[in-house]
Amino acid sequence: MKRPAPNDKICAACGRPFSWRKKWARDWEHVKYCSDACRTGKYTAARRTLGK
């Protein structure tokens, strides 16, 4: 029987909701970003260049 996934979180960079993943099982409390692009700041930099 599978355990239910913990609550979704909101990405600190893009503001989109993201779900728990098995690779984040050990440190889910510390996960803030939905992807590497958001974590490194590339997503927000791209949004600034596009003017959004």
Establish if 22 belongs to a structural domain: yes
Establish if 1 belongs to a structural domain: no
Establish if 18 belongs to a structural domain: yes
Please count the structural domains in the chain: 1
Phi-psi region of 28 (alpha: psi -120 to 50; beta: other; left: phi over 0): alpha
Stated pTM of the model: 0.68
Establish if 41 belongs to a structural domain: yes
Establish if 2 belongs to a structural domain: no
- Tell me the pLDDT band of 4, cut-offs 50, 70 and 90: low
The reported pLDDT for the residue numbered 41 is 85
Question: d(Cα 26, Cα 13) in Å, to the nearest integer?
Answer: 22
Establish if 4 belongs to a structural domain: no
The reported pLDDT for the residue numbered 51 is 65
